[in-house]
Structure formats: structure tokens, C-alpha cells
Amino acid sequence: MTLNNTLTERRVLVIGGTSGFGRAVAGQALEDGADVTIIGHTRSHLDETLSLLAGAHGALLDATDTAQLSDWLATARDFDHVVSTLGGAMGGGFLDHTEQEEVDAISGKFTVGMRVARAVLPHLGNGGSLTLTAGAGGRPYNASGAVVGNQALMTLVQGLAIEVSPHKRVNAVAPYWTPTGLWRGLSQAELDVQIAAQARQIPLGRVALPEEVADAYLFLMRNRFVTGQTIFVDGGVSAL
């Protein structure tokens, strides 16, 4: 087998690629010669990203809606690699939220990941990969539903990896708190306070750059002997 670990001329789809990790993944894949398509659900964010990433293609739809995603995929050529950065966050313990809020947090990770996988995997070419997004850090008492959702998504990745082997691969990246578009509702002052607070909890003493997290997604696309894995990009938090 000839080792070819570049993404040159590979078709890469980034779901949630209009900010943060997704935009960084799309940019790095373009630099590596990939043919990149970005899915976003907000027109202004998609247009802004496409203006910054010359050569990328874009699609406007809600990828959490199985019907929308499946219908769009049916009109597209198969992809070599798909990255999904979909998923939210939750702070607080189980008693701090309603039952529905906890269920929604879990669903936002596991159910959304499963929907994406069901829609995408039939449209991956042989040797292709799907990389989902879990999360690092947090404990049941301070991140409750998000922790359960992340654990469930990691289990999903393990199961899917075996189900689609040997011709396709499934992995996940688990970042720790990183300043991305997920926190665009905060003012700069609020964001600075949050960054400082998070940095104090990280062994490396700082938060990650989105580009550092994106490196892990690129690795999982390029390395054809990794499947069923979740890579933690958390500055050492998971070792605590």
C-alpha cells in the first residue's frame, strides 16, 4: 500500500464550518489542496466564511434536520471526508436544569451525531472518514447533560467504526473550552473573563486556538489506520 496522507483533490465536507473549529478545519484542508464544501445554517455567517476562504463551496441548510441534510447529500457527489462540529454545551449539575434541558443537551451531542452519521455514511467513498465532535473537561456535577452526551457520542463512534469497517472510518475530536462562535453572545469583556477562568483550570495554562484543535481533525482525515477513536485536545484537562 502506498502511503498518501495529503488531502490534495480530496472532497471534504465541513458541517458547521462557518466559525470556530469548522472554519479552521476548512481553511487547513484548503491549504492542503482539498476540494472543500461548507454547510452553514446562517446566510451571513456562510457568506462571510466563503469570502475569507477562497475556493471553498457553500451550502445553506440546517444539518440537524435529517431530511434537509439527506436531500442535499442526494444532489451532491460523494465525499472523501466529512467533519461535523455540531453540538452544544451545558454548565451546571443535574439538579440545576429541568429534565427536558438535560435531555436536549444529551440529544444535542448523541442524537445529532447519529443523525449526521446516518445521513452522511452512505455518501462517503471507500476509504473515507467521518469525524464528529465530542467534548473534554467538565464533570457530572458541573456539566451534567453535556458530559452524558459526550460519553454517548464516543460510544457511538466506537460502534459505527466497527459497523462501517473496513472501507470507512469514524472518529471524534474532543476539545476543551475554546473561544469560538459558540460564545459569540458574550461581550469581549465577558469573553476575556471566561478565557482567564478556563486557563486557570488547564495544565498548559492557556486555552487552545481553534487552529490547534483543527489539527486533530486533519490528522484523523489523513491517517487511514485510525478509527473508533476520540482524540482529546484539551491541554491536559482529561489527565486531571
Does 215 fall in a domain? Answer: yes
Residue 16 C-alpha cell reads as 458547521
Percent of the chain with pLDDT over 70: 98
Percent of the chain with pLDDT over 90: 85
Does 3 fall in a domain? Answer: no
Residue 82 above 90 pLDDT?
yes
Residue 33 above 90 pLDDT?
yes
* Segments forming the whole domain that contains residue 106: 11-234
Quick one: CA dihedral 113, 22, 131, 56, positive or negative?
positive
- Tally Cβ neighbours within 10 Å of residue 159: 14
pTM for this predicted structure: 0.94
pLDDT at position 45 is: 95
C-alpha 221/C-alpha 84 separation (Å) is 12
Does 135 fall in a domain? Answer: yes
pLDDT band at residue 38 under the 50/70/90 scheme: very high
pLDDT at position 39 is: 98
pLDDT at position 2 is: 55
pLDDT digits over 208-232, tens only? 999 999 999 999 999 999 999 999 9
Residue 102 is part of a domain; what is its CATH number? 3.40.50.720
Does 2 fall in a domain? Answer: no
C-alpha 207/C-alpha 215 separation (Å) is 15
Does 222 fall in a domain? Answer: yes
Residue 117 above 60 pLDDT?
yes
Residue 12: partners with Cβ closer than 8 Å, 6 or more residues away: 26, 29, 34, 35, 36, 37, 79, 80, 81, 82, 83, 221
Residue 226 C-alpha cell reads as 485510525
Of 174, 177, 195, 156, the closest CA to residue 91 belongs to 177
pLDDT at position 194 is: 87
pLDDT digits over 122-169, tens only? 999 999 999 999 999 888 998 999 999 999 999 999 999 999 999 999
- Phi/psi of residue 132, nearest 5 degrees: -100, 175
pLDDT at position 3 is: 61
Residue 4 above 70 pLDDT?
no
pLDDT band at residue 88 under the 50/70/90 scheme: confident
- Phi/psi of residue 199, nearest 5 degrees: -60, -35
Does 239 fall in a domain? Answer: no
pLDDT at position 187 is: 82
pLDDT at position 183 is: 74
Residue 18 above 80 pLDDT?
yes
pLDDT at position 220 is: 98
Task: Let me know how many helices (H) and strands (E) the chain has, helices first.
Answer: 7, 7
Domain total of the chain: 1
